[in-house]
Amino acid sequence: MAKHVLLPMDGSDQARDALEHALEEHADARITVLHVIDPARATYGAQAGIPPSSEDWFEAEEASAETLFEEIRERAGEAGVEVETATEVGQPSRAIVEYVEAHDVDHVVIGSHGRKGLSRVLLGSVAELVVRRSPVPVTVVR
């Protein structure tokens, strides 16, 4: 049985399914929900006229993460589970694996995919990269 479970969260339906799985299967473990702010996404905004170095963009991403965390804490509370939250900045799969290594995580529960369309093709599957690089077992929820 896992003692510390990491749940990467991007707000997608698959990530929310992974949350439900973690709450059911690992209710006795310490669960940390991790949101990664990807600076590369700012360049998508640059194409729409938003500068990639915009402090406003970063602050909006942090606020979005906190709103997501509030929803998750509420859902976890309904299930009788307390969760911890964390935010990292970086390339998602790399940040997830680094978090695992630095925080004594012994299991990862991740949604099968979050992004859709062209960005998923160009960036590759975060879940796939985490599975390949993680030093601990990974459960992929679809």
All domains in the chain, ordered by first residue? 4-141 (3.40.50.620)
| Tens-place pLDDT, residues 45-104 | 555 555 555 688 889 999 999 999 999 999 999 999 999 999 999 999 999 999 999 999
Which stretch of DSSP H or E encloses residue 138? strand 138-141
Q: 138-141 and 4-8: which strand pairing? A: unpaired
Contacts of 71 (CB under 8 A, 6+ apart): none
Higher-confidence position of 134 and 119 = 134
Task: Measure Cα distances from 4 to 29, 63, 108, 141 in Å.
Answer: 6, 26, 9, 18
Euclidean distance between CA atoms 44 and 141, whole angstroms: 27
